[in-house]
Amino acid sequence: MFDGSFRTGFENVVSPIGGALHRVGVSPDFVTAVGVVMAGACAYAISQGRFFIAAVFLLLTGLPDALDGAVAKAAGTAGSRGAYLDSVSDRLSDGLLFAGAGWYYVDSDSPRMAMLPFGLYIAASLVSYQRAKAESLGFEAKGGLMERAERFIVLGLGLVFASVFDSGVLDLVLWLMFALTVLTVVTRFVKVWRQATAVRPAVPPRARRVAAARNGRQARGSRSTSATARDRRRSRSRH
């Protein structure tokens, strides 16, 4: 949902910060690693019910995730290796956060609620996988109401409100995230499905050769049948 003009404006903001970090010798890989460590700290804080501290660590998780690309561009090292590391670290960070939430519910009065973060992680992973797979096939699968940036924002607000009011707020926020993430999964699936349906499947070379040979035999058989019919007509006319 934040793709497009918002992302362009955001990149304009973080680019100078990335340039400054590069000038003081900070590498993009180090920034990415800091984000994963902060995600682990956030997960532990959530598991202990320290929601405000968790919200602070979640903010510290999102900042490196936003800045590592800017540092890589400033250093001139942006490429496939960095993109791969960033993608893997994102999945790891998400897993840590949801594991922390699951740990919190296991030790609560409603241990079955631990299945909610687990289901949310599955849905979030499908959102990311659908985009990656669609782009590898030449389709476009961006968009949706609950992408990774939206999950960070909603979870952060939920942690803050849960620290101020009641832990039940976190339950409602996670249910909301789950519903919107599943809706995003369905939306992306339908979007890619329609694109794929509109594309005519390519016929493999072997199948084309077999079809051509079959058509050739049918054409020769048709000509042979026509020639036999003409001979019969000529024979009857002579008699």
pLDDT, tens digit, for every residue of 29-87?
899 999 999 999 999 999 999 999 999 999 999 888 888 888 888 888 778 888 899 88
Domain ranges of the chain: 5-198, 203-239
Q: Are 121 and 102 in contact (CB under 8 A)?
A: no
**Predicted confidence (pLDDT) per residue in 165-196, tens digit:** 988 899 999 999 999 999 999 999 999 999 99
10-14, 28-32, 36-40, 139-143: least confidently modelled range: 10-14
pLDDT at residue 221 is higher than 80: no
pLDDT at 36: 94
| CATH architecture for the domain at 5-198 | Up-down Bundle (1.20)
Q: With pLDDT > 70 as the criterion, what percentage of the chain qualifies?
A: 82
Long-range contacts of 104-107 (CB under 8 A, 24+ apart): 104/46, 104/47, 104/48, 104/49, 107/47
**DSSP output for 8-52:** HHHHHHHHHHHHHHHHTT--HHHHHHHHHHHHHHHHHHHHTT-HH
> What CA–CA distance (Å, rounded) separates 62 from 58?
6
User: Which pair of structure tokens corresponds to residue 38?
Assistant: 């902060």
Its pTM surpasses 0.85: no
CA angle 228, 233, 236 (to 5 degrees): 125
Alpha-carbon gap, residue 81 to 70, rounded angstroms: 15
State whether residue 237 is helix, strand or coil. Answer: helix
Q: Residues 6 or more apart from 2 whose CB is under 8 A from it?
A: 10, 147, 149, 150
DSSP state of 110: -
